[in-house]
Amino acid sequence: MSNKVKAIDAVVNIWTKETLSRRPGWGNDFFVGKMKAQDGLMRGLSLEQMLDRMQEANIEQAFLIAAKVGRPGLPGCYHMPPEIVAEAVAKHPKRFSGLLGIDPFMGMDGVRQLEDAVKHKGFIGAHFYPHWFELAPDHAKCYPFYAKCCELGVPIQIQVGQSMIYAKEAPLKSTGQPIRLDAVACDFPELKLIGIHIGIPWTDEMIAMAWKHENIYIGADAHSPKYWPDSFTRYLNSYGQDKVIFGTDFPVLDFKRTMQEIDALGLKPEVMQKFLRGNARRIYNLE
């Protein structure tokens, strides 16, 4: 790889054997069969092995998600305990930071958990999967979490675009059309919103939201860079260079392969610096 920027991967799933034991059975078929992840990864890897893979790809830091996937008791649901991510962050504070998943149905208990995670457990932001709750991002149940993010001064990542998962245990409706961020940004103009997964198949709509709102950004993860829509690559390499952050959604995308594909895009050097590192540091107040 010719790129020399030490990257920050803003969307990473913690993948130790302990965390995999808490995931539902549909995961292997989805990650290997549909997303073409490496079959060997389904057995898990230690934090040290993950760090080795990051080092090989020139990724200095990763944001680990303590994901909340669906409401407890529903098929396919799991909630990753924040303590697991907090332990990883405490063990490798210069390499890992935490993002707390939100469950809008937890109400104020969830809001208090978010506050505790940011204030006491090393978390630097929030994360939300709208599809798993069949709630669009502008649903009223989400608003207390947005208000708390504003109060704490932390960003929130929200999966936008279509739901990529269809399994018998969890057939998910797509509730993340990017236009649904519009009302949220109007109601919370200081809230830093990151629409992850690029917004496919509504990528141009996601670009429009980032253009309209000062604090809406785009996470370029989960979709292989060599298949990105041309409009998105042009946006990143021009007037959107301050609006996009790098991510893999590992193990959906492999660290090294993703960096090789980004290197092949021929981005301007100043764009590469912002995209792989600078924008994430600014948005997440890591300066």
Q: Does domain 7-283 have CATH number 3.30.160.110?
A: no
pLDDT in tens, 190-232: 999 999 999 999 999 999 999 999 999 999 999 999 999 999 9
Q: What is the pLDDT of residue 2?
A: 59
For residue 33, pLDDT beyond 70: no
What is the spatial distance between Cα 223 and Cα 247, in angstroms, rounded to a whole number? 10
The answer on pLDDT for 136 being more than 60 is: yes
pLDDT of residue 171: 62
Pairing of the two strands 166-167 and 170-171: antiparallel
Answer whether residue 134 shows pLDDT above 60. yes
φ/ψ (deg, to 5) at 272: -60, -40
Q: What is the pLDDT of residue 38?
A: 67
pLDDT greater than 60 at residue 51 = yes
Percent of the chain topping pLDDT 70: 91
Split at pLDDT 50, 70, 90, the class of 173 is: confident
Q: Name the DSSP class of 250.
A: B
Please identify which residue in the block is written with the tokens 């929200």.
158
* Cβ neighbour number for residue 141 with a 10 Å cutoff: 15
Beta bridge partners of 65: 13, 99
Instruction: Give the mean model confidence (pLDDT) for residues 104-127.
Output: 97
Where exactly are the structural domains of the chain?
7-283
